[in-house]
Amino acid sequence: MAPTPNPRLLYAKIPSEELPVAGEHLVFDPKPTIDLDVELKSGQFLTKTLLLSPEPYMRERLRDQSIISYSTPMVLGQPLVGFGLVVVVRSEKEGVKAGDYMFGFTPWEHYTVQPYVDARVDYTGYPAYTFDMDLLVLQPVPDPQGAFPWTAYVTALGCPALTAFIGVEKLSGAKKGETIYVSAGASGVGSIVIQLCKIKGLKVIASAGSDSKVEFLRSIGADVAFNYKTTPVAKALKEHGPLDLYFDNVCGEQLEAAIDNMNMNGRVLCCGAISEYNIPREERYGVKNLSLVFKRRISFQGFIVADSPEMNARFFAEIPPLVAQGKIKTEAHEFKGLENGAAAFLSMFDGSATARPVLVVDPQYGS
């Protein structure tokens, strides 16, 4: 068969501690091709990429391989790798057949011979707190048959949603009548936290960075929603708090304001720090009120999804019906085509995403 174009989004250069630049660090490469009749070895299968999920944690992976962190780094010169929805084109792997849908880690390119190898990292020598991201292999998922859109695999059923679920259901101890503050409320994590907490009967205070996102927060049930760019967080929390819980994926100034407004025995769940991902450490916001941790007997718990594999089954049993019934709503900002992949990725950090970004690689699977 004639070669088929197989464009990809390359991790072309290690960014400094600042925001990566499209065309420099993240480069769309239209030139590669693939022979779709390529011979597959036993255990291999060929997939076509349908949807890709830009997620904040990916930023940390764009670093020099010598720097140790909680995730293994991506491989320079290879496509980005992250969660995505694919369909199987051909298979020489037992239990996987053409037409199967799968969700999990896949390179940002049109077609991939799975399991991908070139973009993998040798895990040897990493400390225990570093999770081997390549363990997040593709798993079969059902065709929703119209019960919910395909993009829900990236939004309500994606890794950020699972993060929200683990935080609320396993770690938060959230009780009816308590008050929670959710920063980045329109994000993939925040929007699900809000809705799970409303189902549990909490009072939910949430913020986002634009008025249209604030409207979305209200539409999904937030009792108090505000634009943190026009209303100081400290002021809003003082007015609507105090807080029993803070779900933190922002860190810095928002964390400080939340601590200032915590109740006795307040709990802080930390699953991200988006305010810090593109800022050199010395320029980050220094939190100056940590003495309140003992004064109010506050607890912090940091977590990532990978620590709670036992929650996956519950998540996939409980959330899809809620999504199908419209009890959990999501909003996606769809970017079309891999050529817009860098823009989709950067939209999480530069404020241009109007909602959780989804990169639609095959237009049939967008909305």
Candidate residues 32, 144, 302, 337; the one interacting with a second copy per rule CB under 8 A? 302
β-bridge mates for residue 206, sequence order: 182, 225
Q: Check if the beta carbon of residue 223 is closer than 8 Å to that of residue 203.
A: yes
Residue 173 near a second copy by CB under 8 A: no
Give the number of residues in contact with a second copy, rule: CB under 8 A.
Answer: 43
Stretch touching a second copy by CB under 8 A, among 89-97, 147-155, 217-225, 264-272: 264-272
Stretch touching a second copy by CB under 8 A, among 12-20, 39-47, 181-189, 281-289: 281-289
128: tokens are 């225990």
Nearest approach, Cβ of 364 to a second copy (angstroms)?
36
Residue 125 near a second copy by CB under 8 A: no
Nearest approach, Cβ of 166 to a second copy (angstroms)?
12
First to last CA, the chain: 32
Stretch touching a second copy by CB under 8 A, among 75-83, 102-110, 125-133, 232-240: 125-133
Residue 285 near a second copy by CB under 8 A: yes
The conformation of residue 31, written as its DSSP 8-state character, comes to -
Residue 307 near a second copy by CB under 8 A: yes
Residue 16: count other Cβ atoms within 10 Å of its Cβ. Answer: 11
Residue 176 near a second copy by CB under 8 A: no
- Reduce the DSSP state of residue 39 to 3 states and report it: coil
Tell me the chain's radius of gyration from C-alpha atoms.
21
Q: Check if the beta carbon of residue 160 is closer than 8 Å to that of residue 304.
A: no
Nearest approach, Cβ of 303 to a second copy (angstroms)?
6
Residue 342 near a second copy by CB under 8 A: no
Q: Check if the beta carbon of residue 48 is closer than 8 Å to that of residue 84.
A: no
1: tokens are 């068969």
Residue 200: count other Cβ atoms within 10 Å of its Cβ. Answer: 17
Report the Cα 344 to chain-centroid distance in Å: 13
Residue 312 near a second copy by CB under 8 A: no
Interface with a second copy (CB under 8 A)? 60, 69-70, 127-129, 242, 251-252, 255, 263-265, 268, 270-273, 276, 281-282, 284-304, 307
